[in-house]
Amino acid sequence: MAKTLRPYRTVPLKDEAKVMLTYWATASEDLLHNIVCVEHDGAVRWRAALPKAAAARDCFVSLQDVGGRLVARTWSGLMVELCPETGSHVAVAA
C-alpha cells in the first residue's frame, strides 16, 4: 500500500477484511474516496465513490453496520448503502 491509511471508523466484514472511513484529507482523491475496504494483508479491495448527487466538495463522514447493511453518510446529508463485496451503491437517499 503506497500510503498509510488513517482510519476514523472501522467496520469488520465476515471474511476478515475491514471497511474503513478514513480521516478527511485535503487531497481531492482522498477526499472523494475516503471509504476503503482493506484485505487482512493490507491490500485495498475497493474504494467507495461518492454518489453523483453529492456536492462538489463532499465526503463521507460516517460509516456503520446497520443490521448487516453497510451504511455511510456524506457531509451534504446523503445516506448511502454500500455493497460490502464491491463498494458499489446499493441505495442512495437524501
DSSP 8-state secondary structure symbol assigned to residue 16 = S
Q: pLDDT tier at 1 (50, 70, 90 boundaries)?
A: very low
Cell of 7: 482510519
Percent of the chain with pLDDT over 90: 61
The average pLDDT across 40-64 equals 89
Domain ranges across the chain = 7-93
- CATH for the 7-93 domain, from 3.40.50.720, 2.115.10.20, 2.40.10.480, 3.40.50.20: 2.40.10.480
Greatest pairwise CA separation for the chain in angstroms: 35
Place of cell 480521516: 23
User: What pLDDT, on a 0 to 100 scale, did the predictor assign at position 2?
Assistant: 46
Q: What is the DSSP string of 43-78?
A: -EEEEPPPPTTS-TT--EEEEEEETTEEEEEETTS-
